[in-house]
Amino acid sequence: MFGFIRFVLRKINQACHPQKKPGLTNQIKIRQPSRLEKEKSSPAYHILLNGGLALLLLGMFYGGIYGAFFLDNLAQDQSEQLRFAIIYATRGQEEEAEQSFEEMAEMDEIMEVFGSGHAHLNLFGLIALALASNVHKIRLKDKWQISAAIVLLVGGLLFPVGLILQPLVNKTLGKVINIISGTGIMASIAIYLWGAVKYSLWERKKYFK
């Protein structure tokens, strides 16, 4: 009997003083972004990612156009020059044979340069993507990372242009562009290498604490 009375009084007390249910903010714990997510949102990450993909797309587009519209014609012209050189040589026409060999060598250089430009665009695009995926392991200030990323992408775009200009427009101009852009690319990679070394030393120091 007394147990039943206590049970009724407890229910009345709960009805008069209801307990507050935990709010939605207390039930759901807000997930904080990880250190990797924070650092991947840095400007250098986006510059390297978008720039690297752009270089890859440009390299594929350039390679497709070159392979579809120019490669066969250049190879055919090279074969024709070789055939003419052999014919002239068998006839004893040394000057004509030498000229045909020179034209064939120029054609071979043009083909090699065009193929090299396609390869370099893809190469620098892959380098940019590799750096973007590891930018959180580079201990450098944002201004250094951004500057190095821009120099790398601009150099990666100009270097193939310099290669193409050498046989087609002006050899000296193409070499100057290659020297300037190549130096910038090496400098930017050296900056990222220094940041990676600093990160490795920092991680090792933290590990042995």
On whether residue 51 sits in a domain, the answer given is yes
Domain count, the chain: 1
CA distance 168 to 114: 10
- Taking 50 as the threshold, does the pLDDT of residue 138 lie above it? yes
Length of the chain: 209
On whether residue 128 sits in a domain, the answer given is yes
- Taking 50 as the threshold, does the pLDDT of residue 39 lie above it? no
| Position 208, amino acid | F
Q: Which among 208, 2, 68, 34 is positioned nearest to 136, based on CA atoms?
A: 34
On whether residue 137 sits in a domain, the answer given is yes
On whether residue 22 sits in a domain, the answer given is no
Residue 207 confidence (pLDDT): 54
On whether residue 84 sits in a domain, the answer given is yes
On whether residue 39 sits in a domain, the answer given is no
Mark 5-32 as b/e (b = at least 16 C-beta within 10 Å): eeeeeeeeeeeeeeeeeeeeeeeeeeee
Domain of residue 86, residue span: 44-199
Q: Which among 149, 159, 160 is positioned nearest to 187, based on CA atoms?
A: 149
On whether residue 207 sits in a domain, the answer given is no
On whether residue 181 sits in a domain, the answer given is yes
What does the pLDDT look like over 140-195, one tens digit per residue? 888 999 999 999 999 999 999 998 888 888 888 989 999 999 999 999 999 999 99
The whole model's pTM is what?
A: 0.70
- Taking 60 as the threshold, does the pLDDT of residue 125 lie above it? yes
Task: Check: CB of residue 56 under 8 Å from CB of residue 72.
Answer: no
> Given the structure tokens 């009997």, which residue do they identify?
1
Quick one: how far is CA 208 from the chain centroid?
Answer: 34
Q: Which among 163, 131, 117 is positioned nearest to 51, based on CA atoms?
A: 131
Residue 117 confidence (pLDDT): 85
> Given the structure tokens 């006839």, which residue do they identify?
91
Residue 190 confidence (pLDDT): 95
- Taking 70 as the threshold, does the pLDDT of residue 56 lie above it? yes
What integer best gives the mean pLDDT of the chain?
79
Residue 26 confidence (pLDDT): 47
